[in-house]
Amino acid sequence: MGGLVALEGPDGSGKSTQLCLLREVLEGRQLDVVWTREPGGTVIGEQIRTVLHDLANDAMLPITEALLYSAARAQHVAEVIRPALARGALVITDRYAASTLAYQGYGHGLDIDMLRQITVLVTGGVIPDLTIYLDLPAERGLERKLVDRSAGQGEWNRMDQQALVFHRAVRAGYLEMAQAETERWLVLDADDTMQAIHQQIMARIEPLLT
Ligand code: TYD
């Protein structure tokens, strides 16, 4: 048994809920499963996460973001993922390299090939056996704002429009990556019921447990 599974999906896609459900099921069995996340998963990675998430750092360039996420990933692979895979564990990570390609590449427009090269450098070629993408229309994340707007409350400004364009590009990126590697990706409709999504995830993870 063993392998690397990455869970990807936007805010509001139910990613955390699915991780919880998965954890409940897998912890009931005698299995070596490592639960981790990006950015983070290591002491240095968590420090990098603080810099990335600090609202005061609004001058951060996309390339700086890409390099910081990648630096955190290098630590994550070396300290957590590679040793766990070497002993035959199943590693389940909340986000992995596809996030950098989707957000910094497709979203912010950084060169995808350059990002792929950086990814190979920091991961040493460790790629997920399975990437699960919980797919949600970009509008959903901005839904509340849209509701306010149609009710004549709040305003729809240039930033919101930019956010929508950005999240649409991120989503298109995920779908393109999934399309290019269907055997390594599982795209699920985040609008499905919690249980239906969970069952589809379990069906794909089960073979990695034996
Ligand atoms: P987080 O608070 O972990 O929330 P969630 O994963 O539930 O969305 O935020 C992670 C954010 O970082 C998320 O907006 C995606 C972004 N991100 C990137 O832009 N590039 C990356 O390489 C990674 C790992 C994350």
Q: Residue 144: its pLDDT value, please?
A: 54
Mean pLDDT calculated for residue range 3-13: 93
Is residue 100 lining ligand 1, measured as CB closer than 6 Å? yes
The structural domains of the chain, with segments of one domain joined by +, span 3-209
Predicted model pTM? 0.93
pLDDT exceeds cutoff 70 at 6? yes
Q: Report, as an integer, the average pLDDT of 163-190.
A: 96
- Provide the pLDDT for residue 152: 65
C-alpha closest to that of 119 among 104, 132, 135, 133: 104
Distance 7 CA to ligand 1 centre (A): 11
The CATH class of 3-209 is alpha beta
Our answer on whether the CB atom of 8 is closer than 6 Å to any ligand 1 atom is no
38 lines ligand 1 (CB under 6 A): yes
CA 200 from centroid of its chain's CA atoms: 18
The closest-lying atom of ligand 1 relative to the alpha carbon of residue 15 is 7
CA distance 175 to 167: 12
Residue 142 binned pLDDT confidence (cut-offs 50, 70, 90): low
Chain-centroid distance of CA 196 in Å reads 20
Q: What is the pLDDT of residues 15-70, one digit of tens each?
A: 999 999 999 999 989 899 999 999 999 999 999 999 999 999 999 999 999 999 99
Q: Find the mean pLDDT for residues 167-186.
A: 97
Looking at the DSSP bridge assignments, the partners of residue 187 are 133
Q: Is the pLDDT of residue 153 over 70?
A: no
Per-residue pLDDT tens digits for 86-106: 999 999 999 999 999 999 999
With a 6 Å cutoff on the Cβ, whether 99 touches ligand 1 is: yes
Rounded (5°) CA angle 17-103-146: 70
Ligand 1 pocket check for 93: Cβ under 6 Å: no
Mean pLDDT in the chain? 93
Q: Which residue has the higher pLDDT, 180 or 150?
A: 180
pLDDT in tens, 60-80: 999 999 999 999 999 999 999
- Measured from the Cα of 38, ligand 1's closest atom is 24
Contacts of 30 (CB under 8 A, 6+ apart): none
